[in-house]
Structure 1
Amino acid sequence: MRVVVLGGGYGGLLTTRKLEDRLPDGVELLLVDDTGDHLVQHELHRAIRRPSFTDAISIPLTELTERATVRVADVEAVDREERVVELDGGDSIEYDAAVVAFGAETAYYGIEGLEEYATPLKRLEHAAAVRREFEAVLEAGGGEVVVGGAGLSGVQVAGELAQYARDEGVESHVSVTLLEQRSDIAPSFPANFRDAVRDELRERDVDIRTETTVTAVDDGTVSLDDGEHAYDQFVWTGGITGNHGLGGDRPSVRADLRIDDRTFGIGDAVEITDAEGTVVPAAALAAVRASETVAENVTRVVEAAREGEPRPRLKQWVFDTPGWLVSVGDGAVAQLGPEVFTGAAANVIKSSVGVTYLAEHGSLRRAVSVVQEDLRDL
């Protein structure tokens, strides 16, 4: 039998590691990823200002797995009826059970000019491009920087670029504007968390414009529903859509995280409603916490299939979180239970989260480098 995990992000990697311990002997475990590296996505924005951080947040999957075979390939399609994964180059892989974990892609919503002129932030090369574009703004003596989409990614990008301008002593020459279509920033998160994030952004002179819809983009102008906004740099973090490996779809799954009898989904690749009816946010924390249930259910399905038994009863997942965390330049906002922390306390929490993740799922060397970078912020 063969189990394939498609994608080496948070959900894919952690599910793979759990399956390495749980799958019966003789079951092949294959991890397919288009880069072969695990990217610590929630730290990606930091590579904009500090390119040296790249090595700490990009880790070869072969260093993080033991039993699983890692294959570097792009998934072009998943034929769930035939249980076949189609790869680039014409190769294919048959499977007995699969976990779809290859994340989502940036959504452009058919907005004219948006994909052509805006830079997304999903990969290391995107962070490098955002840095180059911002340096061009600085070299020109300043200008207008616009970030579209005020979810956590947009908040972190806007905060990082505003902090970059401060670091260079040119904050009076660089304007950073954060656009959000909905009525508030970080709209999926608790009100006290949103309030603290807004305060951190304003402390860094980020201009926040909510209830503002991007309708078109050209070379230098963002057209909005209430006018136009000139820009010298435009970064887009305004939403996600399904991965091309599933034809652009994000299948809806319930609390057992099952797409069909032998295929499961985790992370941004799917839309999840948990056992309590909660629509789970597309966030790294959700993927991390769902990996236990996915691994357990895949194992139950495999064991039942090997024994010729009917479909087993599957574990039901309830999304619970101890809180939320977002970086805003050299600052941070952390929510633990009902309490919200900013300043030094939030920075300590931010540092400990990064170090713990890398120490457990990456390497001590990379964890130490995170500490060294964070010490510069305190």
Structure 2
Amino acid sequence: MHVVVLGAGYAGLTLTRRLESRLPEAVDLTLVNDGPDHVLIHEIHRAIRRPGVVDAVSVSIAEVLDRAELVDARVREVDVDAGKAVLHGDEIVSWDFGAVCLGSETAYYDIGGLREHAIPMKSLADAATVREGFQMLCETGGRAFVGGAGLSGVQVAGELAAFSREEGVRVPDDVEVVLLEQFDEVAPSFPANFQRAVREELEARGVDVRTSTAVERVSAGAVSTDEGELRYDQLIWTGGITGTPATGGDRPTVRADLRASDRTFALGDAARIVDADGEPVPASASAAIREARTAAENIARLVEAERSGSDDGFRPRLDQYRFDAPGWIVSVGDGTVAQVGSTVLRGGAAKAVKASVGAGYLTSIGAVRNAASLAEEELR
């Protein structure tokens, strides 16, 4: 019997690690990932200002796996019903039970010129590109726009603002960091007290926050919005996500047992998940990690039923995923905002929460050295 996990992001690596201990030794387990490293995507903004953080947020997948086979290949196409995927080079991998955890791509919403002129923030390479361009802007003066004020956009804007004020960087007075958001508030899907704290942190660091401003089209050096045309020198886009080319750009909707078909699960950013309460689950690292725990239990039960011969038309009862986030955390330059329950924390207390959460996750996947390095970075 063969179990395959496609993608080693938060969902895929957590799922694989749990399956290593839950599946019988006789069951083959394969993890397919485009690259040898697991990258903490929610921390890549740090590399804009501190390239040295790359080592802390990159984890060698091979070093944290126990018995799963790691295949370093890009997934070109997935057929969830047939239980197979086509890899780069036309190699085909098939499974008895599998999971699609391929993450997402940046959504450009058919906005004319946006894809051609904006830098996404989905990889460490993107962070390096942003850093290089912003360093030049700090020398010559100009305006950097960040499109989308979700948590990713907030973190990028905060990092740019902090970078522009660091000792040793020659900054003309006319360097600007502008954060654009089409909705009325930053962090639009979060509680109002969290939104207020995030906006205050951004504005305290000199970020020009412009909400209720929708981008309509982009050209070289100018963004056309419903409020008029705005000049820019650098444009970073974090305005949303869509499916990967391997899934045809789609993020399939899955119910609370996380199955996209009888034998294939979909979780993390790769899917639109409706939980056990009928509520849509936001795309986030914390949700992906918790989804992986549910998926691991369900796959293990299905494997056990099939191996024991008890699968006589009646499937075992599967766990239902229920979204229950303990809180939310976002960094804003050297500041942090954390919501724990109904309480919003800022300053040192929020930093401590963020450091403990990041280190806790890395420890859970066996990356203890990375955990110590990241905690040190967070508490600087």
Which category describes the TM-score, using the shorter chain as reference length? over 0.9
Is 1:165–1:171's contact at 8 Å kept on the other side of the alignment? no
| Deviation of 1:42 (Å) | 1.3
Query: 1:241-260 counterparts in 2 under 5 A?
Result: 241-260=242-261
Listed one character per residue, the Cα deviations across residues 150-201 of structure 1 (whole Å, up to 9, x for unaligned) are 1000000000000111213737331111111112111111111111101100
Query: 1:47-126 counterparts in 2 under 5 A?
Result: 47-126=47-126
Q: Is residue 326 from structure 1 mapped to residue 326 from structure 2 by the alignment? A: no
| Deviation of 1:34 (Å) | 0.6
Secondary structure of 2:93's counterpart equals strand
Is 1:274–1:318's contact at 8 Å kept on the other side of the alignment? yes
Q: Is residue 21 from structure 1 mapped to residue 26 from structure 2 by the alignment? A: no
Cα distance in 2 between the residues matched to 1:20 and 1:206: 45
Cα distance in 2 between the residues matched to 1:144 and 1:214: 16
Listed one character per residue, the Cα deviations across residues 2-46 of structure 1 (whole Å, up to 9, x for unaligned) are 110010000000000110011122111000001121001111110
Cα distance in 1 between the residues matched to 2:28 and 2:232: 51
Query: Aligned AA for 2:356?
Result: S
Cα distance in 2 between the residues matched to 1:247 and 1:368: 39
| Deviation of 1:362 (Å) | 4.5
| Deviation of 1:349 (Å) | 1.2
Q: For residues 344 and 63 of structure 1, do their structure 2 counterparts lie closer, same or farther at Cα, with a shift above 3 Å needed?
A: same
- The equivalent residue for 1:305 is 306
- The equivalent residue for 1:42 is 42
- The equivalent residue for 2:158 is 159
Q: Tell me whether 121-130 or 179-188 shows the greater mean CA deviation.
A: 179-188
TM-score using structure 2 length: 0.96
Cα distance in 1 between the residues matched to 2:153 and 2:79: 34
Secondary structure of 2:318's counterpart equals coil
Secondary structure of 2:119's counterpart equals coil
Q: For residues 171 and 96 of structure 1, do their structure 2 counterparts lie closer, same or farther at Cα, with a shift above 3 Å needed?
A: farther
The aligned length equals 375
Cα distance in 2 between the residues matched to 1:292 and 1:372: 28
Query: Aligned AA for 2:199?
Result: R
- The equivalent residue for 1:127 is 127
- The equivalent residue for 1:239 is 240
Q: Is residue 351 from structure 1 mapped to residue 361 from structure 2 by the alignment? A: no
Q: Indicate the percent of aligned positions where both proteins have the same amino acid.
A: 55
Secondary structure of 1:260's counterpart equals coil
Is 1:77–1:86's contact at 8 Å kept on the other side of the alignment? yes
Query: Aligned AA for 1:236?
Result: W
| Deviation of 1:76 (Å) | 0.9
| Deviation of 1:224 (Å) | 0.9
Tell me the C-alpha RMSD between the 2 structures.
1.3
| Deviation of 1:306 (Å) | 2.2
Is 1:179–1:212's contact at 8 Å kept on the other side of the alignment? yes
Query: Aligned AA for 2:120?
Result: P
Cα distance in 2 between the residues matched to 1:362 and 1:327: 24
Cα distance in 1 between the residues matched to 2:252 and 2:6: 15
Question: Which residues of structure 2 form unaligned runs of 5+?
Answer: none
Q: Is residue 207 from structure 1 mapped to residue 208 from structure 2 by the alignment? A: yes
| Deviation of 1:322 (Å) | 1.1
Query: Aligned AA for 1:238?
Result: G
Cα distance in 2 between the residues matched to 1:147 and 1:307: 54
Cα distance in 2 between the residues matched to 1:288 and 1:374: 21
Is 1:148–1:179's contact at 8 Å kept on the other side of the alignment? yes
- The equivalent residue for 1:317 is 321
Secondary structure of 2:165's counterpart equals helix
Is 1:112–1:216's contact at 8 Å kept on the other side of the alignment? yes
| Deviation of 1:348 (Å) | 1.4
Query: Aligned AA for 2:139?
Result: E
